[in-house]
Amino acid sequence: MKTFIEGLPKAELHLHIEGTFEPELMFEIARRNNISIPFNSVKEIEEAYQFDCLQDFLDIYYQGAGVLITERDFYDLTYSYLEKCADQNVKHTEIMFDPQTHTERGIAFSTVINGIHKACKDAKNNLGVSSILIMSFLRHLSEEEAFNTLKESLPFKDWITAVGLDSSEKGNPPSKFKNVFEASVKEGYIPLAHAGEEGDADYVWEALDILRIIRIDHGNNSLQDPVLVDEIVKREIALTVCPLSNKALQVVPDLKDHPLKKMMDSGMKVTVNSDDPAYFGGQVNQNFIEIQKALELTKKDLYQLAKNSFEYSLLNRDSKEKYLAELDAYYQQNIGK
């Protein structure tokens, strides 16, 4: 199964670029920028990556992001992740970035996006990995601050495909961002949002009906409401599920309790993703490997998860068909092995 997963063509649809910050690169960039970080070794950083909840993780996540200063820093961070995509047969990735994490520190929006965009462009040419960018609003900040970010993004509209909503979910419902999402859609951005990770099913309803999102990031707690599950299936809204993230943040105590298979059996369109791989113990292949083992997924299940990742990506139809044909050929060659 491990070999099958490693060779499986796939897309990653739920990935925060700031969450790919491996300890070695963090040290290198901190040294380059003469920034002091509260760790003396890579081992100390890894030991700090033990979390009890989403907020524990966010505290250290924002601390790590604080060493990113220059365009080169954002380039190096992004290109390092895209090299890992190439190694894992991730053919396409949809990268979330959090401008407010950086603009709040005085880093220009242009510095952030120029570095990320250049890395994406080079990775397409050098590694054959395609990518699109999702600009996420931080939900613990105000809608007014999100509007400022939207305004700052407009000169770079051609480089950004969608908007998202992330950070601390509880107490920050999707409805808080109704107006900025409406304005973002008017500017041509596709609406996506995290919902139902720590928030309950009501948050997912709000994301669907108020923000009118076309894909749910996480969505675990949708299962609290059978009517909601039916609605998600009816609307063909995919869920970008992140198994190792869910375990690390105690959304599920054990991967054997993960609802991914229940979601699939109920007709939901599920994808497997790494979320913040540097912090949660594994890139996308490791997520596939561990969830397969925990839930005893079949090759057919894994094929379906990979198929969903292309089908519910934001790629155009021609690109989807190209990747799906590659996936189908791989599956037919390996189904009996």
Residue 236 annotated in active site: no
Are residues 301 and 264 in contact, defined by beta-carbon separation less than 8 angstroms? yes
pLDDT single digits (tens) 103-159: 999 999 999 999 999 999 999 999 999 999 999 999 999 999 999 999 999 999 999
- Dist. CA 210–CA 204, nearest whole Å: 10
- Dist. CA 55–CA 177, nearest whole Å: 20
Average pLDDT over residues 219-227: 96
pLDDT single digits (tens) 277-336: 998 889 999 999 999 999 999 999 999 999 999 999 999 999 999 999 999 999 999 987
Establish how many alpha carbons lie within 13 A of residue 18's alpha carbon, considering only the half-sphere containing its beta carbon. Answer: 27
Percentage of the chain exceeding pLDDT 90: 83
197, 198, 206, 311: which one is catalytic? 197
For residue 53, pLDDT over 80 is answered with no
DSSP 8-state secondary structure symbol assigned to residue 252: S
Indicate the domain borders of the chain.
Answer: 2-334
The CA angle 15-158-147, to the nearest 5 degrees, is 75
Average pLDDT over residues 236-261: 95
2-334: CATH topology is TIM Barrel (3.20.20)
Dihedral sign computed on CA atoms, order 50, 52, 57, 60: negative
